[in-house]
């Protein structure tokens, strides 16, 4: 569903694979003892994103206290909108989890440079005509893909770290200096 409202609400769905990835990274494991009782403490998940086309930069907490934060998800949807058309689509929370885990793995404090997030069909069709390697049914059109760079992290290092996560598709574009991540099946190119 495409929406024009950055305050749009959609209930995110988390797959077993995404949950397992999060648990393997230790996101589900921390415990805190308080006055003899134990409770699970879920660390917040915050992403620092910089859309290179719009110049917008935000630190966005999309997960807190054990659940997704609707306002944070809406901020992500807005920042990763199709900048050419203004169309907005809900970004798959599983993709955000993969991206979050990747930033932890490469131990960066830098913002993730977003080269491409959501793409409308119109934009994807235009890019297919002008750019090699753009898929007809790109995961970008479903809000399930992102093309990124991270300052001070070599693209090949970013690609290798993403492959080790095993969380979805990883495309490596050394000549264009970016890595594609998606929440689709595990594969690489």
Closest CA to 41 of 4, 66, 16, 21: 66
Question: With pLDDT > 70 as the criterion, what percentage of the chain qualifies?
Answer: 80
Domain residue extents for the chain = 43-188
Q: Bridge partners of 180?
A: 147, 171
pTM over 0.75: yes
pLDDT in tens, 125-155: 999 888 877 888 899 999 999 999 999 999 9
pLDDT in tens, 8-41: 444 444 445 554 555 555 554 444 444 555 778 8
CATH number, span 43-188: 3.30.1380.10
Q: Bridge partners of 39?
A: 32
- Contact between 102 and 158 under an 8 Å Cβ cutoff? The reply is yes
β-bridge pairing 112-116 and 45-51: parallel
Q: What is the pLDDT of residue 188?
A: 96
Q: Bridge partners of 113?
A: 50, 149
SS3 content of the chain, % helix, strand, coil (to 5): 30, 25, 45
């Amino acid at each position: 569903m495409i929406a024009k409202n950055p305050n749009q609400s959609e209930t995110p769905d988390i797959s077993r694979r995404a949950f397992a990835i999060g648990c393997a990274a230790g996101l589900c494991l921390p415990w805190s003892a308080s006055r003899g009782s134990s409770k699970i403490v879920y660390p917040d998940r915050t992403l620092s994103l910089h859309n290179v086309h719009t110049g917008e930069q935000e630190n966005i907490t999309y997960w807190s206290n054990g659940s997704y934060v609707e306002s944070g998800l809406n901020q992500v949807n807005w920042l990763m909108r199709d900048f050419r058309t203004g169309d907005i689509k809900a970004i798959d929370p599983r993709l955000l989890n993969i991206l979050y885990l990747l930033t932890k793995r490469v131990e960066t404090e830098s913002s993730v440079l977003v080269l491409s997030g959501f793409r409308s069909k119109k934009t994807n069709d235009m890019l297919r005509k002008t750019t090699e390697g753009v898929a007809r049914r790109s995961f970008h059109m479903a809000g399930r893909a992102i093309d990124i760079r991270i300052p001070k992290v070599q693209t090949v290092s970013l690609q290798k770290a993403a492959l080790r996560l095993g969380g979805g598709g990883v495309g490596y574009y050394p000549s264009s200096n970016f890595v594609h991540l998606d929440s689709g099946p595990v594969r690489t190119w």
